[in-house]
């Protein structure tokens, strides 16, 4: 994985420069909100995926950067809008934008970033790029709504869960890779392979995220666990537990979820939820979820068979390994 | 104006059918929010402008409808997001979407509609259409943020006011007309003329809106006046009054605005604001604003010189007359 990290370290300054530069034309009332969410960091995974797929399929010029940035702007816009939903006070350890700028400027700055992402794609002259990201934004927003609608539902099915995480996370990673292929003028088979790679990588990514939230071995290191449960999110590790839990335990959890939905403060309910985090850990829910992630990682890697051999293909394979191995 | 109303009446069912049909693929969790904001009505001005400009410049096929609908979806998305800002309980006499569906589903449904508008434009294969609407969404959202930032500022200048209304209203009307021209494959001079027509029509439209809010002759008919003032919005009729108001009156108004910004309930402040509505009326602020609207209407009409003679050009001219003459 060393080579991927080196590639990432070499690219991040270029991506960050472009991200900053392309915001220059924004109105001074909007730019600080956009700068704030971008400054909160992140790995720039989506821009990197666009660059890697486009280069892996033969395109290497500098004009890829605005397209790569478009993906990060779209992702940032969804973060701005999501944080409002969650009423989240923090984003990556910093105050969430809406707590600093107010709800409406945050909603509107998100709209500006969505539009900027679209315009950067449109400026390339290829309408298929815009169609691709538009579909992914529709799927991402729909996935978020789906997730909210299912908050606290302990009867959530596995297919429903997979549909939610595919929408809210995997579609934008799919678009990152598919746009890279479109930008490179790839043939239809390669474009489909890039899309498949991005989608399965995205599902694996979210599965690992959801597994980490129940990885109680991290508690010793002071890492928070059980946050999803306190938000009423029913994720795969919990589904493994629920599949074999005694009826009275399921009822007790459903009762807690109902109190959450009725507006009881999560902090107050935390001690009551804590035993369930331990039960999920005890039944191996986190580990089984990682196993599922490895299956998606495998099909993601298989899709890369359509790519020509080369440095970027190697990096894309390393990205798969990174996603399933990550511990934070 | 009879011919325009007939044209509108003939077109509205086609536009509404297409608006409904193109929502069919949306997830059942999103569609009700979208249907709700669309069902609230509106004149479908933006789709109509796209159809009129495209046809006026020589394109008449049915494939114009998805493009026309894209504009209405974008407009609806901005309404969904704006209502959250205003905390508005009503939209066109019906409950605002966020009061029925919650804030986050409303924000996200707005995102879906923005993306759907982009995709319909992108599906036409012409990336310039997407670039055009992306710029207009950026300008619209920026105009809204600008307006919020200036709430209660009685020192607002006329250029600042014009910049706000150009952003929040005129840009999307400009995009409607410019997209019509692009879709028709118009030459650059005609495209520029269509854009100029839409922009100046949009400014005239908002000026008349702002004038109507101070038209105290409508009070007898039970129409509300003074709503903008109660929201702290400084509009052109008020600027005419402020330009010649005694210093102590300006200070008194600034004091009321400060209380509004500090969170005092508008209903409680209404009796204190009422005399200022009368003062604006007494100084002819509404009438002078209508005079200004007529100037923009004149330049909008002039821009149509670049259009070939024909039925649609006549309708676009009637639209100008309608905008400045309207009483509601």
Using CB atoms, pick whichever of B77, B130, B142 lies closest to residue A30: B142
What per-residue confidence (pLDDT) applies to A218? 75
What per-residue confidence (pLDDT) applies to A326? 86
What per-residue confidence (pLDDT) applies to B211? 96
Select the residue from A80, A87, A102, A104 to test the B interface by mutation, using most B Cβ atoms within 10 A. A104
What per-residue confidence (pLDDT) applies to B108? 92
Are A96 and B90 a contacting pair, CB within 8 Å? no
CA-to-CA separations, A208 to A204, A214, B95, B111, in angstroms, rounded: 6, 10, 41, 27
User: pLDDT band at B113, cuts 50/70/90?
Assistant: very high
**Model confidence over B147-206: pLDDT tens digits?**
989 999 999 999 999 999 999 999 999 999 999 999 999 999 999 999 999 999 999 999
Are A307 and A316 a contacting pair, CB within 8 Å? yes
Contact residues, B window 118-157, toward A, CB-based 8 Å cutoff:
118-119, 121-131, 133-135, 137-138, 140-142, 144-146, 148-149
> A144, B104: Cβ pair inside 8 Å?
yes
Greatest Cα pair distance in chain A:
61
Q: DSSP string of A145-211?
A: HHHHHTTT-TT--HHHHHHHHIIIIIHHHHHHHHHHHHHTT--HHHHHHHHHHHHHHHHHHHHHHHH
What per-residue confidence (pLDDT) applies to A224? 76
Using left for φ > 0, alpha for ψ between -120 and 50, and beta otherwise, residue A235 falls in beta
- Identify which has the larger pLDDT, B102 or A27: A27
What per-residue confidence (pLDDT) applies to A87? 58
pLDDT at residue B40 greater than cutoff 90: no
User: pLDDT band at B221, cuts 50/70/90?
Assistant: low
Q: How far is CA B188 from the centre of its chain?
A: 26
Torsion of CA A48, A54, A57, A63, to 10 degrees: -130
Using CB atoms, pick whichever of A111, A129, A148 lies closest to residue B137: A111
Mean pLDDT by runs of 10 across the 328 residues of chain A is: 88 96 91 90 92 98 98 95 68 72 88 97 96 96 92 96 97 98 98 98 97 84 81 96 96 95 88 95 95 98 97 97 88
User: pLDDT band at B279, cuts 50/70/90?
Assistant: very high
What per-residue confidence (pLDDT) applies to B222? 67
Q: Helices A64-86 and A31-39 meet at what angle, rounded to 10?
A: 90
Bridge-based pairing state of the strands A90-91 and A94-95: antiparallel
Using CB atoms, pick whichever of A30, A84, A131 lies closest to residue B123: A131
Q: Is A233 helix (H, G, I), strand (E, B) or coil?
A: coil
| Structural tokens at position A321 | 């390994």
Instruction: Report the sign of the C-alpha dihedral through residues B53, B55, B57, B61, in that order.
Output: positive
A84 touches chain B (CB under 8 A): yes
B321 touches chain A (CB under 8 A): no
Instruction: Give strand ranges (E) for A209-290.
Output: none
What per-residue confidence (pLDDT) applies to B309? 97
Length of chain A: 328
Are A111 and A30 a contacting pair, CB within 8 Å? no
Are A121 and A130 a contacting pair, CB within 8 Å? yes
Contact list in B for residue A142 (CB cut-off 8 A) is: 26-27, 29-30, 108, 112
What per-residue confidence (pLDDT) applies to A139? 96
C-alpha angle B59/B61/B62, rounded to 5°?
Answer: 140
**Model confidence over B244-263: pLDDT tens digits?**
999 999 999 999 999 998 88
Contact residues, B window 8-27, toward A, CB-based 8 Å cutoff:
26-27
Instruction: Report the sign of the C-alpha dihedral through residues B92, B95, B101, B104, in that order.
Output: positive
Contact list in A for residue B29 (CB cut-off 8 A) is: 142, 145-146, 149
B114 touches chain A (CB under 8 A): yes
Bridge-based pairing state of the strands B90-91 and B94-95: antiparallel
pLDDT at residue B92 greater than cutoff 60: no
> B104, A135: Cβ pair inside 8 Å?
no
What per-residue confidence (pLDDT) applies to B1? 66
* Gap between the Cα atoms of B256 and B231, Å rounded: 11
Are B121 and B67 a contacting pair, CB within 8 Å? yes
* Gap between the Cα atoms of B136 and A188, Å rounded: 33
Residue with tokens 């390669």: A190
Give residues with Cβ within 8 angstroms of B7, minimum separation 6.
Answer: B315
**Model confidence over A169-214: pLDDT tens digits?**
999 999 999 999 999 999 999 999 999 999 999 999 999 999 999 9
What per-residue confidence (pLDDT) applies to A221? 63
Contact list in A for residue B77 (CB cut-off 8 A) is: 111
Torsion of CA B288, B289, B295, B300, to 10 degrees: -160
* Distance to chain A for B327, nearest Cα, Å: 31
From A162, A113, A163, A109, select the one nearest A133 (Cα to Cα).
A113
Radius of gyration of chain B (CA): 20
* Distance to chain B for A208, nearest Cα, Å: 25
Query: Which option is the CATH number for A2-325: 1.20.1420.30, 3.40.50.300, 3.40.190.10, 1.10.600.10?
Result: 1.10.600.10
* Overall pTM > 0.95: no
| Out of A100-104, A219-223, B27-31, B100-104, least confident range | A219-223
> B142, A26: Cβ pair inside 8 Å?
yes
Q: How far is CA A257 from the centre of its chain?
A: 25
Beta bridge partners of A90: A95
Question: Phi and psi of A59, rounded to 5°?
Answer: -110, 130
Instruction: Report the sign of the C-alpha dihedral through residues B308, B311, B314, B320, in that order.
Output: negative
What per-residue confidence (pLDDT) applies to B186? 98
What per-residue confidence (pLDDT) applies to A307? 98
From B292, B284, B288, select the one nearest B216 (Cα to Cα).
B284
> B125, A127: Cβ pair inside 8 Å?
yes
* Gap between the Cα atoms of B305 and B192, Å rounded: 12
User: pLDDT band at B89, cuts 50/70/90?
Assistant: low
> A144, B116: Cβ pair inside 8 Å?
no
pLDDT at residue B223 greater than cutoff 80: no
Beta bridge partners of B166: none
What per-residue confidence (pLDDT) applies to B70? 98
What per-residue confidence (pLDDT) applies to B114? 97
User: pLDDT band at B90, cuts 50/70/90?
Assistant: low
* Gap between the Cα atoms of B272 and B268, Å rounded: 8
Are B134 and A122 a contacting pair, CB within 8 Å? yes
A85 touches chain B (CB under 8 A): yes
CA-to-CA separations, B142 to A85, A88, B206, in angstroms, rounded: 22, 24, 16
As a whole-number percent, the residues of chain B with pLDDT over 90 amount to 78
B107 touches chain A (CB under 8 A): yes
Q: Is A269 exposed, middle or buried (0-12, 13-18, 19+ CB in 10 A)?
A: middle
* Distance to chain B for A288, nearest Cα, Å: 30
What per-residue confidence (pLDDT) applies to B213? 93
pLDDT at residue B86 greater than cutoff 60: no
């Amino acid at each position: 994985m060393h080579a991927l990290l080196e590639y990432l370290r070499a690219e991040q300054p270029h991506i960050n420069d472009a991200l900053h530069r392309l915001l220059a034309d924004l109105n001074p009332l909007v730019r600080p909100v956009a700068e704030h969410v971008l400054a909160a960091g992140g790995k720039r995974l989506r821009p990197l995926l666009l660059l890697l797929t486009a280069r892996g399929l033969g395109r290497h010029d500098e004009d890829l950067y605005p397209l790569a940035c478009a993906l990060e702007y779209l992702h940032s816009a969804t973060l701005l809008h999501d944080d409002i939903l969650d009423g989240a006070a923090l984003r990556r350890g910093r105050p969430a934008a809406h707590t600093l700028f107010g709800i409406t400027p945050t909603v509107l700055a998100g709209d500006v970033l969505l539009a900027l992402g679209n315009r950067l794609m449109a400026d390339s002259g290829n309408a298929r790029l815009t169609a691709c990201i538009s579909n992914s934004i529709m799927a991402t927003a729909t996935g978020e709504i789906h997730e909210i609608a299912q908050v606290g539902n302990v009867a959530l099915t596995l297919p429903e869960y997979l549909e939610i995480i595919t929408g809210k996370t995997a579609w934008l990673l799919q678009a990152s890779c598919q746009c890279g292929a479109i930008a490179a003028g790839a043939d239809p088979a390669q474009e489909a392979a890039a899309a498949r790679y991005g989608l399965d990588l995205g599902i694996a990514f979210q599965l690992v995220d959801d597994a980490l939230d129940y990885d109680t071995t991290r508690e010793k290191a002071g890492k928070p666990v059980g946050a999803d449960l306190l938000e009423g999110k029913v994720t795969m590790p919990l589904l493994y537990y629920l599949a074999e839990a005694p009826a009275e335990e399921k009822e007790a959890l459903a009762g807690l979820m109902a109190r959450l939905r009725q507006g009881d403060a999560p902090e107050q309910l935390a001690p009551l939820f804590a035993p369930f985090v331990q039960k999920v850990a005890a039944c191996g829910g986190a580990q089984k979820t990682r196993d599922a992630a490895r299956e998606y990682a495998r099909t993601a890697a298989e899709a890369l068979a359509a790519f020509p051999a080369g440095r970027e293909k190697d990096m894309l394979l390393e990205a798969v390994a990174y996603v399933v191995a990550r511990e934070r």
